[in-house]
Structure 1
Amino acid sequence: MKQPHPSITNLPLSPDEERRHRMIKYSVAMGIRVVCIFAILFVPGWWAIIPLIGAIFLPYFAVVVANVSTDPRRAEVQRPGNILPMTPPPSAGRADDDSRGTHE
């Protein structure tokens, strides 16, 4: 069965474009962390624990979220139809020489 040719819409993002998306996600998360740090100074009493927890755990989640691929095209791996795994051809000449019984 012949596979359809991949179209330009099936191609994954370029490395530069993917890096830009990851940097935006990470920067947004770090911006929220900065807001949490400033909120610690202004939130009274025990409520300051909430922005403190956000400021502590947001760097970890920012890295995880930035490195998770959300591109659905990334899940499918396409193998070009013309490339087949290459196995070495059987060495017909050498096998015939040994099978003739020249070793007396």
Structure 2
Amino acid sequence: MAEGKQRPVVHTVTSAQTSPADDQAQRIRRYLTMMGIRVACFGLVFVLHGWLRWVAIIGAVVLPYFAVVTANAVRPSQSGTIQPVTPQADRNRLEQ
């Protein structure tokens, strides 16, 4: 390699933070899962008897609160660490 020429620095992104779109998709899945459980609780109210019916009623009433709270809980942004890496072609040249 020429004396005055610098090699480009290549960074790895495996340690980068989660994208906002991925975070939002995860929160949506969590919300829909909890709402699905709520719908199941509504159905179980008509099938179950005794204390299990009361558990299903409480689940149907309380789950929306937790679903909304967890859906709105955005993770605090964390700074990812960027680490330089040597491309595979450069490694082979350096070893020779």
Shorter chain as denominator, the TM-score bin is: 0.5 to 0.7
- Aligned partner of 1:28 in structure 2 is 33
- Aligned partner of 1:16 in structure 2 is 21
How far off is 1:14 after superposition? 1.4
Q: Distance in 2 between matches of 1:59 and 1:18?
A: 20
Q: Distance in 1 between matches of 2:25 and 2:77?
A: 20
TM-score for the superposition, normalised by structure 2: 0.59
Count, aligned residues? 72
8 A contact 2:31–2:71 mirrored in 1: yes
More strand by share: 2
More helix by share: 1
Relative CO higher for 1 or 2, CA cutoff 8 Å, sep ≥ 6? 2
- Aligned partner of 1:37 in structure 2 is 42
8 A contact 2:17–2:78 mirrored in 1: no
Percent identity of the aligned residues?
36
Q: Distance in 1 between matches of 2:16 and 2:77?
A: 11
How far off is 1:25 after superposition? 0.4
Mapping for residues 48-67 of structure 1, pairs under 5 Å: 48-67=53-72
Look at both structures and tell me which one has the larger radius of gyration over its CA atoms.
1
Q: CA RMSD in A?
A: 2.8
The gaps in structure 2 that reach 5 residues or longer are 1-10, 81-96
Letter in 2 for 1:34: V
Q: Which runs of 4+ in 1 moved over 6 A?
A: none
How far off is 1:28 after superposition? 0.4
